[in-house]
Amino acid sequence: MMLLSLLAGLCLAGCTNVAQMQQKYEAGDHRQLDNLVEIVARPDYPYATRKNAARALGQIGDRKAVPVLIGVLGEYDQRTTLKVEALKSLGAIGDPSAVESIGRLLDRSLEQADADLRLAALPVLGQLGGAPAAAILLRALRYYDLLKMRDEYNQRRGVFSGEEQRLLFEADSLAAGRRGGPVMGMFGEDQMPTTSMFGTDMNLGTLQMPDPTPEERAQARAALLQVGPPAAPAIVECLATQEISPGLRQDLEALLAQLQPADPAPAQTGPDSAPR
């Protein structure tokens, strides 16, 4: 049985040439679109082949591929590159029906602390546009603003001592992961290894991990601006109904000014406006 599965996998890898399928499609053989869709839809195909097929579907740009690309976003797989290709292709095709599924993907990416997916998904929301995309991007900006305020609060200095203050809730998993502190997982603090598999000392308490939050926030802001005028009502509602920091309020007001430029002064029609 295992031998048959191995032979089937080798056959799939050897008999599938995505580039040739795409060339045939572009030459007029539109049956190849169904073949590419099937490749993306089947987890038993080689991962790299599925990535290539997902990329080809975006280059072809047919909306028939949208359901299968959305399906990829919901797959349970810790690898992210296939999802990233599916996101890019959804953005290239431009079907706004993908927005809701991208929002769910962003939710799941927080559980895995997966910045790559978020950095790929946020610009696609800007490409797809519309009020639903604007709502998701506004939620993203509010989320990043809360993280920023928490960081500032955790790192505040004492009024009298001037020393940096450490608060108890700073040790939660997200804060620890973003600041480079040890994320214990199944280990207790006293069980964490102090030596790597190569024999070098490991000081997890001082290990610094890159913080993607500023880049993600910038991506969300740029994507909201890309949505254009449809984002304006959502921003107005957020400013009127949500408790947000002064910094985010100022940023959203600036965005709103870009999306709703002031009307030009009306042309004069009186006698002084006549040409001389």
Residue 227 has pLDDT above 90, yes or no: yes
Which residues have a Cβ under 8 Å from the Cβ of 105 and sit 6 or more positions away? 73, 74, 83, 87, 117, 121
Residue 135 has pLDDT above 80, yes or no: yes
Residue 81 has pLDDT above 70, yes or no: yes
Residue 254 lies in a domain: yes
Residue 36 has pLDDT above 60, yes or no: yes
Residue 233 lies in a domain: yes
Residue 226 lies in a domain: yes
Task: Provide the domain limits for residue 178.
Answer: 129-157+169-182+208-259
Residue 14 has pLDDT above 50, yes or no: no
Calculate mean pLDDT across residues 15-35. 91
Residue 60 lies in a domain: no
The number of folded domains in the chain is 1
Cα angle vertex 20, ends 18, 22, to 5°?
70
Residue 214 lies in a domain: yes
Which residues have a Cβ under 8 Å from the Cβ of 183 and sit 6 or more positions away? 173, 176, 177
CB 131 within 8 A of CB 229: no
pLDDT of residue 13: 45
Residue 242 lies in a domain: yes
Q: Whole-angstrom Cα distance, residue 42 to residue 72?
A: 10
pLDDT of residue 264: 55
For the stretch 117-127, pLDDT in tens is 999 999 999 99
Residue 222 lies in a domain: yes
Quick one: tokens of 248? 């985010």
